[in-house]
Amino acid sequence: MLFCILAILITIGHFNFVVFLHNWFYSKPFPRLLGDLIQATHILFGFFGLFFIYILTLKTESFLIAPHIDLLPDAFLGYGLFCSFVAAILFPINELFRNCWALSPYLYRQISSFFDYENHFVMNKPFNFLNDSFKLEIVSAEISTEFLPVNSQLKILHISDFHFGGNDNYAYYQFVLAQIDAEVYDFAFFTGDLVDNVAFLRWVVPLLKKIKTKHGKFAVLGNHDLWNDPDMVRKYLRKAGFTCLSDQWCSIEYEGKRIGIFGNEFPWFSKKLPDLSSDVYDIKILLTHSPDEFFWAANQKFNLMFCGHVHGGQISLPFFGPLLIPSKFGRRFGSGFFSNSGMIMHVSRGLAGSFPLRINCKPEVTILSLVSKQVLL
Ligand SMILES: [Fe+2]
């Protein structure tokens, strides 16, 4: 009985540790090759470790039944005890508190519309029967705020992670844009990873120029843009009407309020997070690629933060949620809305990825309506 319980705990603990290592390492600004090498090492370590579960369990069981201090330097025993501790203590605590930053006091209404591109076209893609890669979800969310002028509303389009080239189906992107380009938004924000291959930059202008706004379109770049040609990515984004913000503010007057939009590309382009706490605007909006700046942004007194990068994990298990989230906070900020100290963050699952496989994790476009509290009363 003890053997069975330990074997399950050690397997869960080992699995959790490998996922933690992957997420933490992959949040770092390593060059692409090194990142891929680290990822391959984790996959090998993950699967290789499973072969030793029997020995790990045997050693851990005999130690727990009759503890011998002379057994402690044993690497198998050490790892077995560590995995048991992770599975029995750390994993449940983490699961309990993982959603404590979820947005509840501000989210007034959220409605999703689903558009199945597969109904319109036939295509080849891996794991076809499970793959959600072309099942678009348009999230329309209403957020009540105190920082907007009385009786006003701001409509923001948030798009992210287009990965042109990783997904080489132009008709899919045309299909997505056709669902969102009829409306005129107050702002449009793109939060990085435009291309996986510079040859596909030719898609940028015909697709993204269609997005219409009253007060501007703004973008930051992501790690995949850095690994390609960031100067060219910025050039094409500008041609499509976007203002690229790289550690810069853009100030906009809106109904007597000053809105400051700051684009931050840490850790891939800038190496240090700046101190912006004394930069005063009526409404402070942050665009980043990664959700890892969540706590820093709240300290800098931002009202809103938009990001992508983590793709919702691309594979999300029922009940358990996403596994592989390249963030130093692990699986905490996989997708959706989060809040801290009055700041609201939206993490987009993005539209695509380097590899067109999504299971239980649909591509996402978000239309966010910020509504002053008086409108909702
Ligand atoms: Fe991405």
Q: Are 138 and 324 in contact (CB under 8 A)?
A: no
Residue (of 200, 242, 206) closest to 221 by Cα position:
242
The predicted structure's pLDDT at residue 72:
61
Residue 327 CA: distances (Å) to CA of 93, 237, 330, 341: 19, 26, 5, 21
Please report the domains of the chain, with CATH numbers, ordered by start residue.
2-97 (no CATH), 107-376 (3.60.21.10)
- b/e map 165-193, b = 16+ CB within 10 Å: bbbebeebbebbbeebbeeebbbbbbbbb
Residue (of 119, 72, 82) closest to 6 by Cα position:
82
For ligand 1, the distance from its centroid to the CA atom of residue 181, given in whole angstroms, is 22
Residues 6+ apart with CB under 8 A from 130: 359
The 10s digit of each residue's pLDDT in 234-251 is: 999 999 999 999 999 999
For ligand 1, the distance from its centroid to the CA atom of residue 311, given in whole angstroms, is 6
Q: Are 79 and 56 in contact (CB under 8 A)?
A: yes
For ligand 1, the distance from its centroid to the CA atom of residue 91, given in whole angstroms, is 27
The predicted structure's pLDDT at residue 69:
63
For ligand 1, the distance from its centroid to the CA atom of residue 364, given in whole angstroms, is 12
For ligand 1, the distance from its centroid to the CA atom of residue 292, given in whole angstroms, is 14
Residues in the chain: 377
Mean pLDDT of the chain: 88
For ligand 1, the distance from its centroid to the CA atom of residue 368, given in whole angstroms, is 21
Q: Are 117 and 158 in contact (CB under 8 A)?
A: no
Give this prediction's pTM.
Answer: 0.89
DSSP characters for 287-332? EESSGGGHHHHHHTT-SEEEE-SSGGGSBEETTTEES---STTGGG
For ligand 1, the distance from its centroid to the CA atom of residue 36, given in whole angstroms, is 14
The predicted structure's pLDDT at residue 2:
83
For ligand 1, the distance from its centroid to the CA atom of residue 289, given in whole angstroms, is 8
The 10s digit of each residue's pLDDT in 118-177 is: 765 555 666 677 888 889 999 999 998 888 887 888 999 999 999 999 888 899 999 999
Question: If phi over 0 gives left and psi between -120 and 50 gives alpha, with beta otherwise, what is residue 50?
Answer: alpha
Residue recorded with tokens 């009985």:
1
For ligand 1, the distance from its centroid to the CA atom of residue 160, given in whole angstroms, is 8
- Residue 223's identity, in one-letter code, is N
- Beta strands 304-307 and 343-347 are parallel
Q: Give the number of C-alpha atoms closer than 13 A to the C-alpha of residue 61, restricted to the C-beta side.
A: 16
Q: Which residues of the chain have pLDDT under 70?
A: 68-73, 99, 103-104, 119-127, 374-377
The predicted structure's pLDDT at residue 141:
94
